[in-house]
């Protein structure tokens, strides 16, 4: 299964360099300059996704199905 999405700031600016990973931390990736990510997993739903960026508060998302368009907003620290 592949989960794709985008990470943006609370002012809608794409955030490159954010870490995106599932719990447990087996599969992980880093967002592109456009804030986009693609993460492949063998785990089944529900999935817990953690998004971290050094200048923003971490965010946790629980997925119960494959999202059509996952957009995650992070708040500035």
For range 45-68, the mean pLDDT: 95
Report all structural domains of the chain as residue ranges with CATH numbers, in order of start: 2-74 (2.60.40.1120)
Q: How confident is the model at residue 24 (pLDDT cuts 50, 70, 90)?
A: confident
How far is the C-alpha of 40 from the C-alpha of 4, rounded, in Å? 9
pLDDT of residue 45: 93
Q: What is the pTM for the complete model shown?
A: 0.92
In which band, very low, low, confident or very high, does the pLDDT at 32 lie, cut at 50, 70 and 90?
A: very high
Rounded mean pLDDT, 60-77? 94
Spatial CA neighbour of 58 closest among 23, 18, 30, 12: 18
DSSP letter for each residue of 40-60: E--PPSSEEEEEEETTEEEEE
Place of tokens 């990736």: 29
Quote the Cα angle for 22-29-4, to 5°.
75
The pLDDT assigned to 25 comes to 84
SS3 content of the chain, % helix, strand, coil (to 5): 0, 55, 45
């Amino acid at each position: 299964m592949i989960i794709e999405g985008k990470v943006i700031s609370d002012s809608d600016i794409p955030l490159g360099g954010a870490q995106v990973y599932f719990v447990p931390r087996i599969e992980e990736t880093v967002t592109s300059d456009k804030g986009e990510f693609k993460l492949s997993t063998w785990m089944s739903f529900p999935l817990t996704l953690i998004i971290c960026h050094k200048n923003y508060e971490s965010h946790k998302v629980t997925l119960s199905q494959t999202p059509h368009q996952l957009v995650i907003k992070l708040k500035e620290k």
